[in-house]
Amino acid sequence: MKFFVDSADLEQIGELNDIGLVDGVTTNPSIIAKSGRDFKEVIAEICKLVAGPVSAEVTAVEADAMIKEGKELRKIADNVCVKLPLTMDGLKACSSLSKAGIPTNVTLCFSPNQALLAAKCGASFISPFIGRLDDITLDGLQLIEDIRLIYDNYGFETEILAASIRSVNHVKECALVGADVMTAPPNVIKNLANHPLTDKGLAAFLKDWEKTGQSIL
């Protein structure tokens, strides 16, 4: 499974990238707005920092304008992936940009049928939102499983990018049902390393080692 960081925080992205835990980055207008910085400048800096795809979202709602914005965003860097909403206009833009060789991430997916349409239009990634479905008492993980089955049935190359990840359990479940990618905030990715028995075991090892009075260096 590929790990994307859902953030525009360069410091946190860089920290995880140095460890080797960043295969890409996802952003959206809300995330960029929180930084208080120029949209294109932030995207450009992230693209220089990481080698993988960096999703930059259009703000237009009509297809022709989305296409123009997508082409403009692509000029920022070769690893920009244009993020589009799952609307009919978004799908039209996805089809056009994909045919032009520009990678796309179709976002705000909440049903298998929507995911099927995105794949038919050549999307590079489809972003089903797990947490938001859970919020309204629907099964977000079941959506991932359904999309996986449909894509495998027909050999679609669109990658399933599990989004709206809220917990480490979400990450595990997405991996179990075969999501190609998951995107999560930095704190969720870091929490994957945490376990009380790991902490307890390490504390015991260090205590025993201290008793020996030895030093490796």
What CA–CA distances, in Å, run from 169 to 112, 153, 189, 191? Answer: 22, 27, 11, 10
3-state SS record for 182-208: EEECHHHHHHCCCCHHHHHHHHHHHHH
Residue 116 lies in a domain: yes
Predicted local distance difference test score (pLDDT) of residue 20: 97
Residue from 60, 62, 57, 47 nearest 13 by CA: 47
Residues 6+ apart with CB under 8 A from 189: 3, 5, 16, 21
- Domain containing 114 equals 2-212
Residue 102 lies in a domain: yes
Residue 91 lies in a domain: yes
- What is the rounded distance in angstroms from the CA atom of residue 145 to the CA atom of residue 68? 34
Q: What are phi and psi of 34, to 5 degrees?
A: -65, -25
Torsion, Cα of 105, 107, 109, 115 (10° steps):
-20
- Please report, as a single letter, which amino acid is at residue 24: G
Q: Is the dihedral of CA 111, 112, 117, 119 positive or negative?
A: positive
- What is the rounded distance in angstroms from the CA atom of residue 67 to the CA atom of residue 52? 22
Assign residue 111 the CATH number of its domain. Answer: 3.20.20.70
Residue 217 lies in a domain: no
Residues 6+ apart with CB under 8 A from 128: 109, 110, 115, 140, 143, 144, 147, 160, 161, 162, 163
Predicted local distance difference test score (pLDDT) of residue 162: 98
Q: Which of 2, 34, 71, 83 is catalytic?
A: 83
DSSP state of 129: B
Instruction: Profile the chain (217 residues) by mean pLDDT over runs of 10 residues.
Output: 97 97 94 89 97 97 98 98 98 98 98 98 97 88 97 98 96 97 97 97 95 94
Is 40 considered catalytic here?
Answer: no
Residue 41 lies in a domain: yes
Give the number of other Cβ atoms within 10 Å of residue 217's Cβ. 2
- With beta carbons less than 8 A apart as the criterion, state whether 4 and 26 touch: yes
Give the global pTM: 0.94
- Please report, as a single letter, which amino acid is at residue 175: A
Parallel, antiparallel, or unpaired for β 24-26 and 159-162?
Answer: unpaired
Residue 77 lies in a domain: yes
Q: How many domains does the chain have?
A: 1
